[in-house]
Amino acid sequence: MKPIDVDDLVQRVWEEMMRKRQEAIPFPEQKQRGVERPKNPEALERAMNRTPARIGIGRAGTRMKTGSYLQFRIDQAAAQDAVMKSISPDWLEQLQLPALCTRAKDMQEYLMNLDSGRMLSNESAAWLQRHGEMGKDVQIIISDGLSTSACEATIPDLLPALMQGLTLKKISVAKPIFIHRGRVWVQDHVASIVKCKVVISLIGERPGLATAESLSAYMIYQPNEQTVESDRTVISNIHRGGTPPIEAGAYLAEILEEILRYRASGVKYAQMRLK
């Protein structure tokens, strides 16, 4: 018998999944129980529904079943693609997002040198100084971070909801910008240039095998040289299996309104809400 080419098999399964999605044929995303004749099927079903972890997948001898193994390889490939692929220029143009860059010249430098993603490049800083909208209440940053897939999947729904929420609350917003290979701290550099009151970064999270499309929102009130991580307010797990993007946009607008009212973010903001 000819040996199975696992990489080729994974590729064919992936292409079939994409074909079914394009044809609007629902592909079953709910996990299938692989354990045959469990002693307590109800308890196993409840456990499987409570977590995206790979439990109850069963085994064939000492190994996982073929279907589970192929799904694992597919999810692993999606996670790698989310980190390494570049955002599409057409996507940026469609959302009318000016694209800036950090000092990380490529993904290799971005992954190996954390500081390179925390500052804008000299060219981008100069562009923002000339073209940025100064002195607004809120500056929105979108960055691929560690997941381009997260941006592509969530921002088209999240950004309009966030902008609409802020407009209805009469909060002034600068034109959103996109930053290639940005880390969270790049928001401090941006805020120091545009002199906004609050900066919010919508950034792709490190992809896992449950989803590669999760986004986080980091908000901070007037960052400066003494800013520490506890000064940031964070909302994570924004994706279709967590907090839906449209709902997240409306919720983030409410949080930003409160941050502006309390003139604080992070731990200080949380403490003031409890008073």
CATH code where residue 259 lies? 3.40.50.11240
- Residue 118 is predicted with a pLDDT of 95
The burial class, CB within 10 Å (0-12 / 13-18 / 19+), for 144 is: buried
Please indicate, yes or no, whether residues 64 and 138 belong to a single structural domain of this protein: no
CATH of the domain at 12: 1.10.30.40
Is the pLDDT higher at 54 or at 170? Answer: 170
Domain stops at, among 84, 117, 144:
84
Could you tell me if 215 and 202 are in contact, meaning their C-beta atoms sit under 8 angstroms apart?
A: yes
Please indicate, yes or no, whether residues 79 and 122 belong to a single structural domain of this protein: no
Query: Is 22 within a domain?
Result: yes
Token pair listed for 19: 């074909």
Q: Over pLDDT 70: what percentage of the chain?
A: 77
- Residue 160 is predicted with a pLDDT of 94
Please indicate, yes or no, whether residues 161 and 243 belong to a single structural domain of this protein: yes
Domain extent, residue 28, equals 6-84
Q: Does pTM top 0.85 for this prediction?
A: no
Within 8 A by CB and 6+ apart from 246, the residues are 157, 158, 161
- Residue 114 is predicted with a pLDDT of 86
Query: Is 123 within a domain?
Result: yes
Within 8 A by CB and 6+ apart from 177, the residues are 97, 98, 99, 100, 128, 132, 139, 140, 141, 142, 190
Please indicate, yes or no, whether residues 110 and 48 belong to a single structural domain of this protein: no
- Residue 63 is predicted with a pLDDT of 77
Given pLDDT bands bounded at 50, 70 and 90, which one contains residue 165?
A: very high
Query: Is 203 within a domain?
Result: yes
Q: Residue 84 above 80 pLDDT?
A: no
Q: What gap in Å lies between CA 35 and CA 244, rounded to an integer?
A: 31
Please indicate, yes or no, whether residues 50 and 122 belong to a single structural domain of this protein: no
Please indicate, yes or no, whether residues 10 and 134 belong to a single structural domain of this protein: no
Average pLDDT, the chain: 83
Q: Residue 229 above 90 pLDDT?
A: yes
Query: Is 28 within a domain?
Result: yes
Q: Residue 141 above 50 pLDDT?
A: yes
Please indicate, yes or no, whether residues 137 and 188 belong to a single structural domain of this protein: yes
Binding residue ranges: 184, 205
Q: Residue 2 above 70 pLDDT?
A: no
Phi and psi, residue 177, nearest 5°: -125, 155
Domain stops at, among 67, 84, 101:
84
Domain stops at, among 84, 115, 140:
84
Could you tell me if 146 and 214 are in contact, meaning their C-beta atoms sit under 8 angstroms apart?
A: no
Please indicate, yes or no, whether residues 36 and 104 belong to a single structural domain of this protein: no
Please indicate, yes or no, whether residues 196 and 258 belong to a single structural domain of this protein: yes
Give the tens place of pLDDT for each residue, 44-78. 778 777 766 667 777 777 777 766 656 656 555 55
Query: Is 1 within a domain?
Result: no
- Tell me how many domains the chain contains: 2
Binding residue ranges for adenosylcob(III)alamin: 184, 205
Token pair listed for 28: 């079953």
Given pLDDT bands bounded at 50, 70 and 90, which one contains residue 24?
A: very low
Please indicate, yes or no, whether residues 205 and 121 belong to a single structural domain of this protein: yes
Please indicate, yes or no, whether residues 101 and 161 belong to a single structural domain of this protein: yes
Average pLDDT score over residue span 10-38: 54
How far CA 201 is from CA of 4, 50, 178, 188, 209, in Å, comes to 45, 29, 10, 10, 24
- Residue 236 is predicted with a pLDDT of 92
